[in-house]
């Protein structure tokens, strides 16, 4: 089973997911909207399905694809852990830079040892 981010790394699969974000669509419409061949779209949808990013529901002779919301929520939760980590690191960096800036400002005050000529 391909990992979700690996599946999304391919530009056409990402475009398919972005299109499905607006709602379920049949394979033929996806192919038409993205100007891709239907076999190629079906191949990409198969990868996305194996990664559990989309699912298919039959509608008579058509196959309608839609996003698996739960899978995207899982990825969002996982990515949130990195956001919190980086926010903490950026806050620490900001404090450090503010301290350096304050130290430089103190160093720029008139030095009584310096005289103007």
Q: What's residue 35's pLDDT? A: 97
Closest CA to 38 of 12, 2, 69, 5: 12
Both tokens assigned to 53: 């990013």
Q: Please state the domain extents for the chain.
A: 4-67, 69-106
State yes or no: pLDDT of 112 exceeds 70: no
Q: What's residue 11's pLDDT? A: 96
Q: Which CATH class is domain 4-67?
A: mainly alpha
Tens of pLDDT along 58-111? 988 899 999 999 888 888 888 888 777 777 777 777 787 888 888 777 776 655
Q: What's residue 113's pLDDT? A: 60
Count CB-CB contacts under 10 A for residue 20: 19
Tens of pLDDT along 1-58? 567 888 999 999 999 999 999 999 999 999 999 999 999 999 999 999 999 999 999 9
């Amino acid at each position: 089973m391909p990992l979700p981010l690996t599946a999304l790394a391919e530009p056409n699969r990402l475009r398919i997911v972005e299109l499905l974000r607006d709602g379920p669509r049949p394979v033929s419409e996806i192919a038409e909207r993205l100007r891709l061949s239907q076999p190629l779209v079906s191949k990409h949808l198969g990868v996305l399905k194996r990664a559990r990013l989309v699912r298919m529901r039959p509608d008579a002779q058509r196959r309608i694809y839609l996003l698996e919301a739960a899978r995207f929520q899982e990825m969002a939760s996982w990515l949130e852990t990195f956001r919190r980590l980086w926010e903490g690191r950026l806050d620490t960096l900001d404090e450090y830079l503010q301290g350096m800036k304050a130290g430089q400002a103190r160093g720029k005050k008139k030095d009584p040892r310096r005289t103007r000529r």
